[in-house]
Structure 1
Amino acid sequence: MTDIDKFLQRDSFIERNARGRAQALLDPGSFRELAGPFERLYSPWLAMQQLVTQADDGVVVAKGMLDGAPTVVLAIEGGFQGGSMGEIGGAKIAGALELAARDNRRGIATGAVILFETGGVRLQEANLGLAAIAEIQAAIVDLRRYRPVIGVSAGTVGCYGGMSIAAGLCSYLVVTREARLGLNGPQVIEQEAGVAEFDARNRALIWGLTGGEQRAATGLADACVDDDSAAIRATVASLFARGVPARHRSERAGDYLSALAGADTGGQPAPGDVRAVYTKGEA
C-alpha cells in the first residue's frame, strides 16, 4: 500500500466534529453524553447580544471506557464561536473534571481527556469566561494527582489564550502537525507588537514556531501524531498506561523561565533557535 493509499484510507480526527472525536476515543458502545444538547444549555449572554447560540454551548461531555478504564472526554467544538470558553461550556468542563476527581477519591480510578480546539476566553462573556477557565485549571490540577489528565490538540483552530495554560497543566499533551499552541494568536501578536515582530500571514513562520511538530520538539507536548483517529486513540491509551508523571511540566516552570531569560530577543528566531532555548529547560 502506498503512502497516498494510506492517506486516503485514514480516519481523519481533524475532520470529525467534537462529538465524533469523543466517540472515536472511547471504547465502542461505551459513549454516554452528559449535559448534552437536549438539555438546552444555551449561553444566555450570547442570546442577549443577538448572537447565534448552540444547545450544548460548544462543549461535549462524554463518559465511557477507554481500554476498559473509566474515562471522561471533554471535547470543545472549534466550529462554534471559535471554540471560545463561556460560562456554560466552561462549567461543563470544570464540573466533569471535579466529578472525576470525586470518583477517584471514592476509589473509582477515572481519567480525563480534554480535546482543545479553542481560541481561549469568549470575549462576549468577559469575566465569566475567565472565571470558567480558572475553574477548569484548578480542576485539572486537582484531578491529575490521581489519574492523568491528557490534552489533545489536533486542529484546525489551535489552542490559545487561557486554555493554552490549561493545556500546559495537563499531565500529557498530544498534538498533530496541524495543531498550533500558544498563549497569544498570530493576529493578536501582530496587532500589539507589529508585523516586524510577527507576520500573521506567514504560515510557515506560524507553524515553524507554534505548530504541533515544533511544540513536541521543544518538550511542550509529549507526542506529535498523524491525523488518524486510531493513532491518536492508541497514543492517549499509552499515556494513560504511564500513570501520573513523577513531575508535571508545569512544575518545571522555573527551569523554562531560566532558559527563556537567556534567549536572544533582538530578532526573529528560527525554529531551531526556539528548540535550542527550550531544550535548556528540560533539565
Structure 2
Amino acid sequence: MTDSARLLRQHSFVELGARQRAQALLDDGSFRELLDPFARMMSPWLAQQGVVPQADDGVIIAKGSIVGRPVVICAIEGGFQGGSMGEVGGAKMASALELAAQDNRKGIPTAAVLLLETGGVRLQEANLGLAAIADIHAAIVDLRRYQPVIGVVAGSVGCFGGMSIAAGLCSYLVVTQEARLGLNGPQVIEQEAGIEEYDSRDRPFIWSLIGGEQRFASGLVDAFVADDIQAIEQQVQTLLLQGIPKTQRSGQYEWFLQRLARLDTGPQIDPATVRNLYQGEQP
C-alpha cells in the first residue's frame, strides 16, 4: 500500500501531523523533504531555557508536485511549542519561499502551500522569531507575483500573531470548521482587555467570531471546507489551477479600513455584526 493510500484511509486532515499533511497534498511519489530531522537543524536557544528542542524545529519543508505542477510546502507542526515560530523554523520557511521565487525567475513555475498551525512568534526566541516572520512576509509578497501562495488553516491550534499576517498575505486562504484565525489569540485578548471583553474559555463564543465558518462568511478567506483529506486536497488543487488572483486581498486594505471605521466599539461585538460589517462588493 502506498503512502497516499494509507493517508486516504485516515479521513481527518486535522488529526494528521505536519509531515503527513504535506504528504497528503502532494502527488503520489513526489514528496521530498528538505532539511529533514536528520539534518539536526534545531533551535540553539530552547535548551538554554530548559525546553527540549525538536530536530526539525517544528517546520517541515517539502518539495514535490500538485497536479503535476512544482510546489513547495511549508508545514508547521502545531504539536511542538504550539506551532510557534523561532529563528530556525522561520529561516527554513522564509528560505524555501525565497528559493521558490528564484525558481520562477529561472523559468521554473514553483508555487507554495503553507500549512499554518501556529500561535505566532516563539516567546523564548522573541526578536529572532519576529525577524524570521518578517522575512516570511517579504518572501510571500515576492513569490505571489509569479505563482499562487495558498494558505491552509485546518485546526486545532489556529493561526495567530505575526503568522496571521502571513495568512493574510497569501493569494488564497482555505479554512475548516475547526480553524481559528486572528491577529491576537483569545488568551492574549482576555489578558489585556479582561474576561468581560473576551472569555477565552467560551469556545462557542470564540469560534463564532474567529472560527473558520465566520471568517469565510465575512469574506476574509477564500474557501471553507470539511475536515477531510480529499476535500482539502481538491480545494488546494482548484486554487492552484486558478493561478494568481486578479486582486490580492492585502491590496484591498482601503476597503477594509473603510468598513472598520464604521464599527461601534462600545457594545460587545457579536457574529452578526462582524458579518454585516464586511458585506458589500469588494474591489
Q: TM-score, normalised by structure 2?
A: 0.96
Give the C-alpha shift of residue 53 in structure 1: 0.4
Aligned to 1:4: none
In 2: Cα distance, 1:103 partner to 1:63 partner: 12
1:90 aligns with 2:90: yes
Task: Identify the residue that residue 78 of structure 2 maps to in structure 1.
Answer: 78
What residue is the counterpart of 1:163 in the other structure?
Answer: 163
| 1:214 is the counterpart of 2:206 | no
What does residue range 42-121 of structure 1 map to in structure 2 within 5 Å?
Answer: 42-121=42-121
CA contact (8 A) 1:256 1:280 kept: no
1:25 aligns with 2:25: yes
Amino acid at match of 2:186: P
Task: Report if aligned partners of 1:24, 1:229 keep a CA contact under 8 Å in 2.
Answer: yes
Residues 213-258 of structure 1 show CA distances to partners (whole Å, capped at 9, x for unaligned) of: 0001111110010001111010001001111011100000111011
Amino acid paired to 2:265: T
Give the equivalent residue in structure 2 for 1:273: 273
CA distance in 1, matches of 2:278, 2:188: 23
Mapped to 2, the partners of 1:21 and 1:108 lie a distance apart of 24
Residue 95 of structure 1 aligns to a residue in which SS? Answer: helix
Residue 48 (structure 1) shift: 1.3
TM-superposed deviation, 1:25: 0.3
Q: State the aligned residue count.
A: 275
Match of 1:11 in 2: 11
Give the letter for the 2:274 counterpart: V
Tell me the residue number matched to 1:39. 39
The answer for the alignment partner of 2:181 in structure 1 is 181
CA distance in 1 between partners of 2:42 and 2:48 (Å): 11
Query: What are the ranges of 5 or more consecutive residues in structure 2 without an aligned counterpart?
Result: 1-8
Rounded to whole Å, the distance in 2 between the matches of 1:61 and 1:36 is 8
Q: Which residue of 1 aligns with 2:5?
A: none
Residues 259 and 280, structure 1, Cα contact 8 Å, conserved in 2: no
Q: Secondary structure at the match of 2:253?
A: helix
Amino acid of the structure 1 residue aligned with 2:55:
A
Amino acid at match of 1:120: G
| Aligned-residue offset at 1:281 | 7.2
Q: Quote the offset at 1:261 in angstroms.
A: 0.6
**Corresponding residue number in structure 1 for 2:227:** 227
Tell me the SS of whatever aligns to 1:123: coil
Distance, in Å, in 1 between the alignment partners of 2:225 and 2:280 is: 24
Q: Please give the residue correspondences for 1:184-263 in structure 2 after superposition, counting only pairs within 5 Å.
A: 184-263=184-263
Question: Quick one: which amino acid aligns to residue 67 of structure 1?
Answer: V
Task: Give the letter for the 1:118 counterpart.
Answer: T
- Which residue number corresponds to residue 4 of structure 2? none
Please give the alpha-carbon distance, in whole angstroms, between the structure 2 residues aligned to 1:154 and 1:268.
27
Separation of aligned partners in 1, 2:108 and 2:232: 25
Q: Specify the code of the residue in structure 2 equivalent to 1:249.
A: R
> What amino acid maps onto 2:200 in structure 1?
A
Sequence identity percentage: 67
**Cα RMSD between the aligned structures?**
1.0
Q: 1:281 to 1:268 in 2, by over 3 A?
A: farther
Aligned partners of 2:280, 2:263: CA distance in 1, in Å? 10
Partner residue in 2 for 1:125:
125
Does 2:172 match 1:172? yes
User: Relative to structure 2, which stretch is displaced further, 120-129 or 262-271?
Assistant: 262-271
- 3-state SS, counterpart of residue 74 of structure 2: strand
Q: Which amino acid aligns with 1:268?
A: Q
**Contact 1:18-1:60 at 8 Å conserved across structures:** yes
In 2, distance between residues paired with 1:13 and 1:79? 14
State the AA in 1 paired with 2:239.
Answer: L
Tell whether the 8 Å contact from 1:258 to 1:281 is kept in structure 2 after alignment.
no
Distance 1:177 1:226 in 2: 7
